[in-house]
Amino acid sequence: MGRRTDGARRATGPLLSVFVLLVGLISTILTAAGLSSAQQDTAAREMDKRHDTALATIRTETQRYRQLIETLAAGIVNDPELTWEDFDTATGPLVDAGLLGAAPVAFIVAVPTDGLAEAQRLWRSRGALGLTFRPDPAADEHFFAVFVRKLDENEQGVRSGADAGLVEPLATTLRTARDRHQLTVSEAYVLMRDRQKPAAEQQQSFIFAAPVWTRENTPEFRGWVASGLRGGTFLDKILGPLGQISGELISVDEDQTRHTVAEWTGEGERDLTRTGTVEVGPGQNWILETHGDSRHLAGAGWYLPAVALGGGLTLTSLLAWLVHVLATGRARARARVEEATADLRETEAASRRQAELLGAIMLTISDGVIVVDSRGMILLENPAAKELLGVAGFPDRPEEWQEHFGVYHPDGRTPMPLAEMPLFRALNGETADRVEVLVRNPGRPEGVLLSIDGRPLDPSAGEHGAVAVCRDITELRRYESDLAIFAGVVAHDLKSPLALIRGHAELVLDDVPDGWPESGGVREGLWRIVRAVERMDALIETMLAYTTARDAPLRAVAVDPAPMIREIIEERIGGLSTGRPAPQWSLDPLPPVQADPAMLRHVLDNLIGNAIKYVRPGGTPRVEVTGRPAGPQRVRIEVADAGIGIPDADKPYVFETFHRTEAAAGYAGTGLGLTICRRIVERHGGEIGVTDNPGGGTRFWFTLPAAEITEDSDMTGNDTSGPEDDEAVREALERALAERAALMEAARLPGLAMPSGTAPVAEPGRLRAPVPERQRQDQG
């Protein structure tokens, strides 16, 4: 009895599982069958709805097409002398009507063979420019489209002049419309303009032709208004938006001949079909046949039976699997814990390796890296940073950074305020690039010049703060200073022999007898030497300015640009030859700026000089200088001209070194002027750019800091710096000049003497304003 009970208990589970499976299978089949039947009904209703929508749209569009063509014909009949302008105005509403599949609309006239020449002259005189009749030699009456207008911007160029009588369906339709005095629709055929396309792109079309008869007692026939309807495009526009159905547009002629005009292929099989008729003319009908797949029609729910069947089987399998999971869950849970623990250990090891690699990188790189948290407390400081800063440790508060590290401006005398320090700016969310800072403290008594980049710390790191990267640029700046001194010495050595050559050439010019010819002789050759020396002198000045513009000491003071601009313009005008027209110029009141006067003068002189120089031959130069505030503590100055302009393709490159446009090839220049301007503006922390001048020409603009006006501000733009500011540089220059003089004295050739009164060398490291371009007239 006990064995039977145990056997019954062991069999209860399988029997119960079989019972659940049978009940689930039967329920699933019944549900799927019911859903399938409901799906068919839903699909049929959806198919009816879409078919009716397509049929109604075709009827509406064809009726609208007929009405527009008839309305156009009725309007044209009131114009006895129809011109192209009249036709263009009358057909304007058809362009905006959005007719589906519409081909160009045309005004067609009938011309007998003996009246071709006269008709061609008549319609040409009414605006059919280029109209040339190409009649069919075998016909007595010809049909020509004299005015044609496109209704689709994508339509190819429209040609007129072909004899429509060559196309039988079109000629028949035109004659029928004229005889019946009513709009007539043609049989389906390929339009003449579409026959030039590849065979795959050709489609059957219809012609809607409305005759133009006058309303007098004795009506006079004037022509037809005709337009084509491309069947494929028309059906595409009708059935395409409906989706998931296919269809054919069939034309039925008066003799009940059926022609398939266009087809539209949808998705799935064609198990549902609907048919409808559209009357387009007397005795002429179109038939629309649509097909659909019941499984793909929206709302049919073809997938529901499969989902129900699959869901029932899945649910049954899930119950069996759940029993299995409950029996074996403990062992699987233990295995998963072991697997998760192994992944965690591997992740921890990878994190440790990355941390060790990061630490090794921080110990190895020569740039100093400092990371602080949101309160300014140190999170990371590599050895290179400790060595560059010269002192150990890091203060707990940012207010103590100045006293602890000894942070100064690059001049070495002015302490840098906390708000200007790049690391503090980064703490406030601001980006600081290449900020030059001098650090001098007991660990760095001689001082070290650092270039510091500050960035806010990415919040994804899990900590809010800032990071600064600093590098030692002391030797770099010393090298650049020596390079500036070298450039000044070289410029002096080049300018001295040039002055000697020019002086001797001018002396010889004074001694040339008056009777000597001006051209082709000694006098012309000497003038060429003088002009070549002037060009070489200007090139040396430009190269010297280019080498010093980026690194020359910046002595920013409050400057009113207006007097400086007025002086530059007057100097430029005074340097022009008498044969050139005087420039027209205007100067608006300008806000004061904080800038180095010499550098600012160089920028303004270069831009104003370009405005006067780059003018088309015979043109009058025009200079317009304006200025206005541009954002917080910024001033924007614009210099506009009416010159030759700059092509759009060259605008991104005009500030590059030695870049010149093709239009500027006939004008003197080195291609460095705008490069120097960009360097100077960027030294001041500003931006420079170029745009087209709305009145013609070019408009250059640049921004500078607004002036910080105090009681001691000198608004004249004069350089108030004392000679002691460049004492070290002057001493280095004097030593270099002394060494050069000793070498020249030792290597002096007999008979070679330096001219007295040689112009002194340019002060090293200082950017001089350029001398206005001089133009000399050849003297007789």
User: Tokens standing for 105?
Assistant: 């609309």
Least confident of 299-308, 314-323, 337-346: 299-308
Q: What is the pLDDT of residues 40-91, one digit of tens each?
A: 778 788 888 888 888 888 888 888 888 888 888 888 888 888 898 988 888 8
Residue 530: per-residue pLDDT: 77
Residue 564: per-residue pLDDT: 92
What Rg value do the Cα atoms of the chain yield, rounded? 46
Residue 650: per-residue pLDDT: 86
CA dist., res. 382 & res. 387, Å (int): 9
User: Quick check: 83 and 147 in contact, CB under 8 A?
Assistant: no
DSSP sequence for 149-191: E-SSTTSPPP---BBGGGSHHHHHHHHHHHHHTS-EEPPPB--
Contacts of 96 (CB under 8 A, 6+ apart): none
| Location of structure tokens 């814990």 | 337
Q: What is the pLDDT of residues 7-19, one digit of tens each?
A: 555 555 566 666 6
| Pick from 145, 150, 147, 148: nearest CA to 161 | 145
Residue 748's pLDDT band (boundaries 50, 70, 90)?
very low
Residue 39: per-residue pLDDT: 74
User: Quick check: 237 and 62 in contact, CB under 8 A?
Assistant: no
pLDDT at residue 638 greater than cutoff 90: yes
Q: What is the bridge-based pairing of β-strands 622-629 and 584-587? A: parallel
- The share of the chain scoring above pLDDT 90, in percent, equals 8
| Location of structure tokens 């001295």 | 496
Provide mean pLDDT across the span 157-164. 71
494/251: higher pLDDT: 251
| Pick from 552, 539, 597: nearest CA to 767 | 552
What is the DSSP secondary structure assignment for residue 706, as one 8-state letter? B
CB burial class (10 A; 0-12, 13-18, 19+) of residue 141?
Answer: middle
Q: What is the mean pLDDT of the chain?
A: 77
Largest CA distance in the chain: 154
Q: Length of the chain, please?
A: 780
Q: What is the pLDDT of residues 556-583, one digit of tens each?
A: 899 999 999 999 888 888 777 766 788 8
CA dist., res. 71 & res. 98, Å (int): 16
User: Tokens standing for 260?
Assistant: 């398939």
User: Tokens standing for 633?
Assistant: 């503590």
499/538: higher pLDDT: 499
Least confident of 346-350, 391-395, 571-575, 713-717: 713-717
Least confident of 497-511, 636-650, 658-672: 658-672
User: Quick check: 444 and 390 in contact, CB under 8 A?
Assistant: yes
Q: What is the bridge-based pairing of β-strands 432-441 and 444-456? A: antiparallel
422/267: higher pLDDT: 422
- Note every long-range contact of 392-398, with CB atoms under 8 Å and residues 24 or more positions apart, other chains counting: 394/370, 398/424, 398/427
User: Tokens standing for 523?
Assistant: 């006098």
User: Quick check: 392 and 386 in contact, CB under 8 A?
Assistant: yes
User: Quick check: 244 and 292 in contact, CB under 8 A?
Assistant: yes
Task: Give me the sheet containing 102-112, strands edge to edge.
Answer: 141-149, 102-112, 221-230, 205-213, 184-185
Q: What is the bridge-based pairing of β-strands 245-252 and 258-264? A: antiparallel
pLDDT at residue 162 greater than cutoff 80: yes
| Pick from 305, 233, 226: nearest CA to 264 | 233
Provide mean pLDDT across the span 149-153. 79
Residue 164's pLDDT band (boundaries 50, 70, 90)?
confident
Q: Which neighbouring-strand residues pair with 595?
A: 557
pTM recorded for the entire structure: 0.39
User: Residue type at 656?
Assistant: E
Residue 471: per-residue pLDDT: 86
pLDDT at residue 769 greater than cutoff 70: no
Q: What is the pLDDT of residues 195-233, one digit of tens each?
A: 778 877 778 888 889 999 988 888 888 899 998 888 878
pLDDT at residue 747 greater than cutoff 50: no
